Amino acid sequence: MIGVVDYGMGNLGSVANALAHLGVPMCVLRGPADMAACHALILPGVGAFGDCLANLRDWGYVDPLREWLAADRPLLGICLGLQLLCASSAESPGVAGLGLVPVPVVKFAASAEWKVPQIGWNRVRQVPGRSCPLFRDIPDGTYFYFVHSYYLPAAPGWAAGQTRYGVDYASAICRGRIAAVQFHPEKSQQAGLRLLKNFADWCDAERP
């Protein structure tokens, strides 16, 4: 069972519908106690970094999620769910993230050419030498759908996909049994569905 973490600030409907379309057993978690029935988690996120951390804390998720991550149990972060795994964000100074990726998130610099937020389709280039199960049967340079103003500039040992929007940044990370993407696979048509199915298959293959 894959649990989609509900803390009041995620695009749960689209993610749940995509998993249901794929026939993937899933449930929407109503609290950290529901994590016990799951072998994998999806952590979505929509909104501001600090507000999301506050909600995770209020719902009692912060420590259980840190324990889950420390145990290297399967998890997929989506959009702000990727940023929440990082050390901090320029969007919410003084607010600590979950800290798995020891790198701060920064904001795009707006220009005449590069509007902020980035909204729309963009390519994801798979990092050479990084074999990430999320991208199985997905061609290098495939387009995915993005909506964000902040980004992870670099993630040594973590970056599995890169995207250029004025600057190059880590649009997908993967290490151990934990992965996250800055784009929205649930809004990225067939490529996004393929990625979600790859995550489900990866989790099943990694089960004890």
Domain assignments of the chain as residue spans, ordered by start: 2-205
pLDDT < 50 stretches in the chain: none
First to last CA, the chain: 14
Catalytic residue among 86, 91, 186, 203: 186
Strands 178-181 and 75-78: parallel
Topology at the third CATH level for domain 2-205 = Rossmann fold (3.40.50)
Q: DSSP for the chain?
A: -EEEE-SSSS-HHHHHHHHHHHT--EEEESSGGGGGG-SEEEE---S-HHHHHHHHHHTT-HHHHHHHHHTT--EEEETHHHHHTEEEETTSTT-B---SEEEEEEEPPP-SSS-SSEEEEEEEEEPTT---GGGTT--TTEEEEEEESEEB---TTTEEEEEEESEEEEEEEEETTEEEESS-GGGSHHHHHHHHHHHHHHHHHT--
Per-residue b or e along 8-31, where b marks 16 or more CB atoms closer than 10 Å to that residue's CB = ebbbbebbbebbeeeebebeebee
8 Å CB contact between 22 and 193: yes
8 Å CB contact between 150 and 106: yes
| pLDDT for position 121 | 98
| pLDDT for position 138 | 97
Catalytic residue among 38, 132, 148, 184: 184
| pLDDT for position 36 | 94
| pLDDT for position 206 | 65
Per-residue b or e along 61-92, where b marks 16 or more CB atoms closer than 10 Å to that residue's CB = bbebbeebbeeebbbbbbbbbbbbbbebbebb
CA 71 to chain centre: 18
Active site residue 186: yes
CA–CA dist 44, 39 (Å, integer): 17
Catalytic residue among 79, 86, 132, 174: 79
- Among left, alpha and beta (phi > 0; psi -120 to 50; other), residue 137 is left
| pLDDT for position 12 | 81
CA–CA dist 136, 118 (Å, integer): 26
Active site residue 184: yes
